[in-house]
Amino acid sequence: MRKKHVKKRSVQFPYDNIIFEGGGVHGLAYFACLQHLDDVGVYKTIKRWGGSSVGTFVAACASCHISPQLLLSDSVTLRTETFMGNRRGLTAIYNVLCHWGAYDLSARFRPWLHSFFERHIGVPTLTFGEITRRFGTDLHITVLDITTMKPLVLSSCTTPAVDMVDAIIAAMSVAIMFRPQKIPSLGDGLYIDAGFNDNMPLYTFDATDHGGDGAYNSRTLGIRSIQDTSVYFADQIHYTVPPPQTFVDYLSHMFSLIIESGQQRYAQPRDAARTYFMVIPHAINSLDFNVSDRDRETMRLIGYEGLKTFLRVKNED
């Protein structure tokens, strides 16, 4: 009988919790980060996973212990049309005015997610509580409650009956681009992508019951995507927008500002010590999932080799 190969830890891994930032298509690089964690034998030892926007999908996959190799291969089926469909122009404008979002993310993405999870875990979805009972992990997804305009963290502790697919769709519904979503188990409230004001909820696991001191948890690793080598801190932000010349320019500026707010790289200075910043080339548009094979390979290398180097340096400190 062939002996089953068991991966062994080849690095000291000082983290129990991992948080993924939003970042659109740049989130494909996060799958490569998971691949490295799997290769060094720590992937299934992580207790808690969390994120915002596209980071919530990655965190959900990791919480369900889906093979990173399969995630990388399956990601090629994620196309822009998976999220937006084919409607453009006046239809999109009408939807913004009447439904507060150009597209309904749930329309095409929900069937895709159900099919995806059915293939990999045998069921189309699970509640947060079921994830914990089945895999022993604790998934945290951050959404923005547009009633209170404050982030809301969904988890097995706070919202065990919430469906993870409902949560992922709400968490990825970028304001204006996608209409607000309801999460049926939470009532009639409306929720959108928390990236609008909280794209990197690194504080999620700072509580004492997650190993933190209430304000900071050195056992949490944040993984973020940026497109330059500058990390902006909260007290260094200055907005500059060129003056629009036409109404179309004005709409474009407003939409760009909303998208940018969902991609912010703001941090507290001490958080840099517990964060891996992936620098993604400017040529790779975060909103275009129809990326080339070359760009996919670039992001895979950035995610895999970059995290590998980050952890090696941490081990040498």
**Tokens coding 3:** 């002996």
Among positive and negative, which fits the CA dihedral 244, 246, 247, 248?
A: negative
Q: Is residue 193 in a domain?
A: yes
The per-residue pLDDT for range 140-187, each reduced to its tens digit, is 999 999 888 889 999 999 999 999 999 999 999 988 889 999 999 999
Q: Which domain holds residue 104?
A: 17-316
Query: For residue 306, what pLDDT is reported?
Result: 95
Task: Return the C-alpha torsion angle 98, 104, 107, 112, nearest 10.
Answer: 180
Helix 28-39 / helix 54-63 crossing angle, nearest 10 deg: 30
The C-alpha atoms of residue 191 and residue 169 are separated, in whole angstroms, by 9
Mean pLDDT of the chain: 85
The per-residue pLDDT for range 189-225, each reduced to its tens digit, is 999 998 877 788 888 999 887 777 888 999 999 999 8
Q: Is residue 22 in a domain?
A: yes
Radius of gyration (C-alpha) of the chain in whole angstroms: 19
Domain total of the chain: 1
Q: Is residue 7 in a domain?
A: no
The per-residue pLDDT for range 81-131, each reduced to its tens digit, is 888 876 666 788 888 888 888 899 999 999 999 999 999 999 999 999 999
Q: How confident is the model at residue 20 (pLDDT cuts 50, 70, 90)?
A: very high
What's the CATH number where 221 sits? 3.40.1090.10
Find tokens 């919430």 and name the residue. 162
Q: Does position 64 have pLDDT exceeding 80, yes or no?
A: yes
Instruction: Tell me the CA distances in angstroms from 49 to 139, 240, 272, one per residue in order.
Output: 5, 35, 19
Q: Is residue 139 in a domain?
A: yes
Q: How confident is the model at residue 3 (pLDDT cuts 50, 70, 90)?
A: very low
Q: Is residue 228 in a domain?
A: yes
**Tokens coding 152:** 């809301």
Instruction: Tell me the CA distances in angstroms from 186 to 86, 149, 183, one per residue in order.
Output: 31, 16, 6
The per-residue pLDDT for range 245-304, each reduced to its tens digit, is 665 566 555 555 555 554 444 556 788 889 999 989 888 888 888 899 999 999 999 999
Q: Does position 63 have pLDDT exceeding 80, yes or no?
A: yes
Q: How confident is the model at residue 238 (pLDDT cuts 50, 70, 90)?
A: very low
Q: Is residue 2 in a domain?
A: no
Q: Is residue 6 in a domain?
A: no
Task: Give the list of residues 6+ apart from residue 49 with CB closer than 8 angstroms, or none.
Answer: 17, 18, 19, 20, 59, 60, 62, 63, 137, 138, 139, 140
Among positive and negative, which fits the CA dihedral 56, 312, 26, 41?
A: negative
Q: Strand, coil or helix: what is 205?
A: helix
The per-residue pLDDT for range 90-100, each reduced to its tens digit, is 788 888 888 88
Q: Strand, coil or helix: what is 315?
A: helix
Q: Is residue 4 in a domain?
A: no
